[in-house]
């Protein structure tokens, strides 16, 4: 079951999704998205994903297409946050951890160099 709510106020226009984005509900969200995009051609639209409890493969693909056509996602929690990162390609956490690992290897190399130099 999925609840689709169209959002329209002074701050944003978009969709709010609550429940499971799976099966035939993916098609319903796509219809609602197309209608909203036709109505608001030049505006970036938001999609509130905070109420989702499950997203299947077809749902993920739809969210990717929505992102490519200008959707801004709102979400929280480990599942939805990870899903949004996968879709948008926003990998800030991985970049930070990659810098941390390189820094650790640099420190180990420096300690090895100092040990060999003073031994």
Tell me: do 56 and 106 sit in the same domain: no
Higher local confidence (pLDDT), 9 or 6: 6
Grade residue 43 by pLDDT with cuts at 50, 70 and 90.
low
Q: What is the pLDDT of residue 93?
A: 42
CA distance 31 to 46: 16
Which tens digit of pLDDT belongs to each residue from 50-91?
A: 999 999 999 999 999 999 888 889 888 888 888 888 888 865
Same domain, 72 and 28: yes
The verdict on 26 and 82 lying in the same domain is yes
- This prediction has a pTM of 0.69
How far is residue 23's CA from residue 59's CA, in Å, rounded to a whole number? 8
Pairwise pLDDT comparison (109 vs 15), residue with the higher score: 15
Do both 23 and 57 map to the same domain?
yes
Domain around 63: 2-88
- Kindly state whether residues 82 and 112 are assigned to the same domain: no
Total domains present in the chain: 2
- For residue 30, the domain's CATH number is 3.30.750.24
Residue 76, pLDDT score: 81
Sheet arrangement for strand 2-8: 2-8, 13-21, 45-55, 71-74
């Amino acid at each position: 079951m999925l609840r689709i709510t169209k959002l329209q106020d002074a701050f944003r226009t978009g969709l709010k999704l609550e429940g499971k984005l799976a099966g035939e509900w993916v098609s319903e969200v796509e219809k609602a998205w197309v209608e909203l995009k036709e109505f608001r051609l030049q505006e970036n639209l938001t999609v509130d994903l905070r109420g989702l409890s499950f997203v299947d493969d077809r749902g993920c693909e739809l969210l990717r297409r929505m992102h490519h056509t200008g959707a801004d996602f709102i979400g929280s929690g480990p599942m939805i946050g990870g899903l949004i990162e996968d879709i948008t390609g926003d990998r800030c956490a991985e970049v930070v951890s990659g810098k941390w690992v390189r820094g650790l290897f640099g420190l180990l190399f420096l300690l090895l160099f100092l040990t060999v130099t003073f031994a």
